[in-house]
Amino acid sequence: MGDPGGSWLAGLPARAAGSMSTPLREYVEHGSGASVTAGEATQAWGRLRLHPHVLRDVTDVDPSVALLGRTSRAPFGVAPTSLQKAVHPDGEVATARATAAAGAVMVVSSNAGSTFADIAATGVTWWLQVYLPSDRTLAGPLLDRAVEAGAAAVVLTVDTPVVATWHPTQALIWDVADPAWTRVNFGPGHDDQPGSEKALDLGPHDIDWLRDRTGLPVVVKGVLRGDDARRCVQAGAAAVWVSTHGGRQLDRSVSTADALPDVRAAVGEEAEVYVDGGVRSGLDVLTALAAGADAVFVGRPVLHALVDGEAGVARWHAALLDETVEAMRLAGCRTPADTRELLPDTRQERPH
Ligand code: FNR
């Protein structure tokens, strides 16, 4: 392996911890409630058991995938996370440069601290993540700016009717944060307007509305059940994204590794299915693909790598891709599609 792979990736959180203030570290790492879901995420991938192929030529492995009609050179991308400018002064732009060079997708948080125009100027393929406000019309300017700057999709986060409580030991990062680190793509005074709070009444019609409003494919992030996934697809979603928000919303939610096969079975091939949560190694990526994901997204490790700016995120991309290719070879898989045969029982359709 080119990079000392596993060990470098495995050592990321500890190395990053030394470069973050306590409030920032707590903000990045925390889970909600008793952190049951956050704590189980990685272990849940480790509980799945693969049935590898042998006697297959794995000289040429192609880990690329087509996501919403565009090629991603890796079967994993960058999940939306806020406060990247608190981690490194170049913030989202550093992540975008490294992700553009890696040929992967970056999902940009609506709370980003870099402008959409600056992110887009890196040439990265990027998708906008949004939370819809009570008064949907207030989302208009943000959506327009993203469309104008060339967002290729909109990711609607649906697991956050309210932000779940957690209990930092020190000041909340928001209380010590520089206002320039966040929400620069909203107009001034946006958050003071009545109706700007997160919507409590999201429904399938919002998927349709977002698609009409932006003309972009809509991805629904935060789905954990097959029946909900079907409703998303029927409402026009191009993809559903299995996520517990990194264990930061409803604690005691099922792990994404356990929810993914049901969602894939419910959606079939009518829409793309993505997953995130606790993916830390190439073996985790392989396992997630085997369990039915078209692509895998990663949150906290990108922030850990971003401590070293663009170079850190570039190294993270390279290390995870190296590990993914190694895992694919060991499993006898030349392409991500081949991995679907590694977990035979998850391919069965289940009634919903
Ligand atoms: C997030 N996540 C998130 N999700 C989202 O839809 N919008 C957002 O602004 C954020 N912000 C955010 C900040 C931080 C610090 C973290 C750790 C997470 C959730 C994120 O997109 C993703 O679902 C999880 O992080 C995936 O789990 P892992 O890879 O962190 O285990």
Report the CATH number that the domain containing residue 88 is assigned in CATH.
3.20.20.70
Could you give the CA distance from residue 286 to residue 339 in angstroms, rounded to a whole number? 7
- In percent, the amount of the chain with pLDDT more than 90 equals 91
187 pLDDT band (50/70/90 cuts)?
confident
Q: Where are the strands (E) in the chain, listed by range?
A: 65-67, 70-72, 76-78, 105-108, 125-130, 154-157, 218-223, 239-242, 272-276, 295-298
- Residue 2 falls inside a structural domain: no
- Residue 242 falls inside a structural domain: yes
Counts for the chain of helices (H) and strands (E), in that order: 15, 10
Q: Under a CB-based contact definition with an 8 Å cutoff, are residues 272 and 292 in contact?
A: no
Q: From the CB of 41, is ligand 1 less than 6 Å away? A: yes
- Interface predicted TM-score (ipTM) of this complex, two decimals: 1.00
Domain residues for the domain of 106 are 29-339
For the entire predicted model, the pTM comes to: 0.96
Q: For residue 245, indicate whether it is catalytic.
A: yes
- Residue 18 falls inside a structural domain: no
Q: Where are the strands (E) in 237-343, listed by range?
A: 239-242, 272-276, 295-298
- Residue 14 falls inside a structural domain: no
The confidence score (pLDDT) of residue 91 equals 98
Q: From the CB of 157, is ligand 1 less than 6 Å away? A: yes
Q: From the CB of 122, is ligand 1 less than 6 Å away? A: no
Q: For the CA atoms of the chain, what is the radius of gyration? A: 19
Could you give the CA distance from residue 178 to residue 75 in angstroms, rounded to a whole number? 34
Nearest CA to ligand 1 atom 24: 246
- Residue 352 falls inside a structural domain: no
Give the count of domains, the chain: 1
The atom number, within ligand 1, closest to the CA of 298 reads 29
Q: Pick from 149, 101, 109, 108: which is nearest to 126 by CA? A: 108
Could you give the CA distance from residue 274 to residue 300 in angstroms, rounded to a whole number? 17
- Residue 67 falls inside a structural domain: yes
- Residue 1 falls inside a structural domain: no
Tens-digit pLDDT profile for residues 1-58: 444 445 899 999 999 999 999 999 999 999 999 999 999 999 999 999 999 999 999 9
- Residue 21 falls inside a structural domain: no
**Has 279 been labeled as part of a binding site?**
yes
